[in-house]
Amino acid sequence: MKILLFCGSLRKASFNRMLTNHALEAIGSRAEVQVAEIGDLPLYNQDIDADPLPESVQRLNRQVAWADRYLFITPEYNYSIPGVLKNAIDWASRPRPNPFANKKAAIMSASPGMLGGARCQYHLRQCFVFLDLVAITSAEVFVSFAADKFDENGKLNDDRTAKAIDKLLTALLAE
């Protein structure tokens, strides 16, 4: 099983990056894992969506084609998906045949706020419809009050959150 993680924050001290690092540890040897590199993608422009594609886009396309599962770990910006993540999805959605078709995907979000980024998860699920991605519905992970849930080394320090993440990963990695 091959899982590609997308982190929707480029910030060095990002809570969602901490969550991504936790997911990498929690997946362990259960699957082969890669993290999508999305920080150096150009802004999507159909004029440059042509042969040859920008090198960073080719790299992303290889990662997306390689994976058979996806895990999106993202902040919520203005009640929605951060532009940097949407940009990556827009680029990755262009190859034909659709590389996402009928593959499973799950979402986690972290926010210092009370809802843990819940609202952006439903916008992302809406994108899954067009991408033909199969969203995991049996488990959800919203890391609310994120500043209290990671220690000074960026490690998750909340057992209930760790259990919820494990449940989500188990659902995502099931055959």
Given 11, 30, 123, 155, the residue binding ligand FNR (CB under 6 A)? 11
User: How many residues sit in the footprint of ligand FNR (CB under 6 A)?
Assistant: 16
77 binding ligand FNR? (CB under 6 A)? yes
Interface positions, 15-34, toward ligand FNR (CB under 6 A):
15-16
Q: Please choose, from the candidates 108, 103, 122, 105, the residue with its C-alpha nearest in 3D space to the C-alpha of residue 164.
A: 108
Cβ atoms of 49 and 81 within 8 Å: the answer is no
Given 90, 113, 154, 166, the residue binding ligand FNR (CB under 6 A)? 113
Q: Which of 57/168 has CB closer to ligand FNR?
A: 168
Where do we find the tokens 């594609």? 53
DSSP assignment letter at 32? E
- Give the contact letters, 131-150, x = binds to ligand FNR (CB under 6 A), - = no: --------------------
SS3 27: helix
Given 1, 31, 87, 112, the residue binding ligand FNR (CB under 6 A)? 112
Cβ-based neighbours of 155, under 8 Å, separated by 6 or more:
18, 22
Given 21, 63, 111, 161, the residue binding ligand FNR (CB under 6 A)? 111
Count of Cβ atoms closer than 10 Å to residue 28 Cβ: 9
DSSP assignment letter at 52? S
Q: How far apart are CA 21 and CA 48, in angstroms?
A: 33
Given 5, 6, 75, 108, the residue binding ligand FNR (CB under 6 A)? 75
Interface residues toward ligand FNR, by CB under 6 A: 9, 11, 14-16, 75-79, 110-113, 115, 117
